Every structure is written in structure tokens, then in C-alpha cells.
Amino acid sequence: MRHWLRLVGVASPGARVLERDGVQAVVVPAAPERAVVNSVLYEDAEALAAAYDEVAAAYAEIGAAWTVWVPSADDRARDLLGAAGHVLDAAPEIMSVDLREGVERPSADALEDWTADGDVSQVGPLNDRSYAFGADSFTRALAGLPPDELTTYVARAGSAPVGCLIIVDHERNADVEMVAVVPEARGSGIAGKLLAHALCDAAERGLETSTLIATKMGRPVYERLGYRAFGTLEMWELRSRADRST
């Protein structure tokens, strides 16, 4: 997650990454309403407490909603954030799979049309269409992603892109990000088949594991591919003043 969010923080227009003694804050002014990209990761609660005021000021400067990803056992961080006005927004699961145990590649006709050399500029629009935010937040936030540092998978129906995901190789791990299937194409297993291809390709590149953060809707898809949960990350969000006043 650190590596992926750092890529966003470097590539997104006007964005920056704050690194403070074990705390990483990605500040994305192109999409201040999307806390999932305006995200903070930390190594321990004491470091988070020490950096909190500076981090909060950086997000306040752009009027952003922002989130801190908290391991579910970290009561100290939870108390700190609750006192500062953050609220628990979600608690997705951390999942992983050992690629050395083997992943079965889908049959050649399992997907109508797919590529591992997809246009990364399609990832933002596909995620915006797939999730009911009613905005082009991801299109704005992900503009400028470096295609040579990612592997972008896109599935098409006819000539239209209908699903996508990104694989980020880092330290022999394949990090899965930005999985999306547009509503009208759901129900045919596009996400699972596309990810199965991606995992087989990752294993062929010599990667040993794959990790992702799963929603409740996504978990069954990932479990069928061999992923197993080993904890949760709570998303403690602080909304912008404008959002909190409505």
C-alpha cells in the first residue's frame, strides 16, 4: 500500500507525499473529496501522534476528506483519531495468496477480450463508473500514473472497456489495486478471470505473493482464487469542514 499510494502521490497533478518518521501521508488536491487517495499510513501510534498536526494541516489546506488506515488491534491510534474528530468509515480485510502454490489460468475463451497492456488512463474512468460516487474523482486523482511502473489489465466487451485492475510489483509481491467492473457487465466473473490472468503472469515474473484490500463484495471473488484474510484495516476518516456541516 505504501508503494502504491506513493505512486499516486508522485503522479497525480499537484499531489505530494509527506514522509515523517514512519508516517506517510499522500495529499491529492485533484480529488479532495476522495479520502481513499488522501490516505495516511503509519508504523506506530506514537509516530502518528507526533506527525498528526502537520498532516492535518496539509489536508486542511486543500479542503480534503482524508483517512488513516488503522490495524484493528491498535487502540491507541483509534483513540487518538476519535478524539480528533475522525469517524470509522469502513473496515476492509487484508488478504493474501501464495503464488508459489499455483494459480490456474482461465481458458482462452473465458473472457471475450482482455489485455495485460491496457491503457492506464482508462482505470480512473472505469472506477468512477463502477462505484456510486457520482463524480469523476478517480479520473482526476489517477491522471499521470506512470504506465511503466504498473501492469494494467483491461477487459473489453465489443470495443468498450468494462473492467480493469492494476498490479504493482514490489519486493516479490503483486499488489492488486483499482479493481472495477462497470454495473452492466457484472455477473459474468470478469474481475475474477482478469485477476487470475494477472496472478499467473505475476508468478511467471517470479513474484511469490499477492496482497489486496477486500470489500465484503470482493472477498468471495478473491477467496475463489486462493486469497485468505489475515486481518482488517480500519479506515478512520476526517471529512472536510464543508462536508461535516451538511
Residue 24 grid cell: 506517510
- Give the whole-angstrom CA distance, residue 106 versus residue 192: 9
| Best CA proximity match to 41, nearest among 14, 17, 23 | 23
Instruction: Tell me the pLDDT band of 181, cut-offs 50, 70 and 90.
Output: very high
Q: Given the C-alpha cell 505475476, which residue does it identify?
A: 202
Instruction: Tell me the pLDDT band of 245, cut-offs 50, 70 and 90.
Output: very low
Note the pLDDT tens digit of each residue in 68-93: 999 999 999 999 999 999 999 999 99
Please tell me whether residue 15 adopts helix, strand or coil conformation.
coil
Cβ pair 104, 199 in contact under 8 A: no
| Amino acid present at 103 | V
The fraction of the chain above a pLDDT of 70, given in percent, is 97
End-to-end CA distance of the chain: 31
| Amino acid present at 160 | A
Residue 155 has a pLDDT of 97
Strand partners, 210: 97, 174
Q: Where are the domains of the chain?
A: 2-92+233-244, 96-231
Q: Indicate the class that CATH gives domain 96-231.
A: alpha beta
Question: Average pLDDT over the chain, rounded to whole?
Answer: 94
